[in-house]
Chain A
Amino acid sequence: DTEVTQTPKHLVMGMTNKKSLKCEQHMGHRAMYWYKQKAKKPPELMFVYSYEKLSINESVPSRFSPECPNSSLLNLHLHALQPEDSALYLCASSQGSPGTGIYGYTFGSGTRLTVV
Chain B
Amino acid sequence: KQEVTQIPAALSVPEGENLVLNCSFTDSAIYNLQWFRQDPGKGLTSLLLIQSSQREQTSGRLNASLDKSSGRSTLYIAASQPGDSATYLCAVKFVAGANNLFFGTGTRLTVIP
A residues near B (Cβ < 8 Å) are: 4, 6, 41-43, 45, 48, 55-56, 88, 90, 92, 98-102, 104-110, 112
Contact = CB atoms under 8 A, between A and B. Distances in A.
B34 interface: yes
22 contacts: A42-B89, A42-B103, A42-B104, A42-B106, A55-B99, A56-B100, A90-B43, A98-B99, A99-B98, A101-B32, A101-B98, A104-B49, A105-B46, A105-B91, A107-B44, A107-B46, A108-B43, A109-B42, A109-B43, A110-B41, A110-B42, A110-B43
B32 A104 contact: yes
Contacts of B36: 107
Given A4-B43, A98-B99, A102-B51, 11 more contacts: A41-B105, A42-B104, A90-B44, A99-B98, A101-B52, A101-B95, A101-B98, A102-B32, A104-B49, A109-B42, A110-B43
Contacts of A92: 44
A43 B103 contact: yes
B34 A6 contact: no
A56 B99 contact: yes
A101 B31 contact: yes
B63 to A, nearest CB: 17
Given A104-B34, A104-B49, A107-B36, A99 B99 contact: yes
A19 B32 CA distance: 36
A76 to B, nearest CB: 15
The 10 closest A-B pairs by CB, nearest first: A101-B31, A42-B103, A109-B43, A104-B49, A107-B44, A98-B99, A110-B43, A99-B98, A107-B43, A101-B98
Contacts, number: 58
Contacts of A106: 46
Contact of B46 (A48, A56, A90, A104): A104
B103 to A, nearest CB: 4
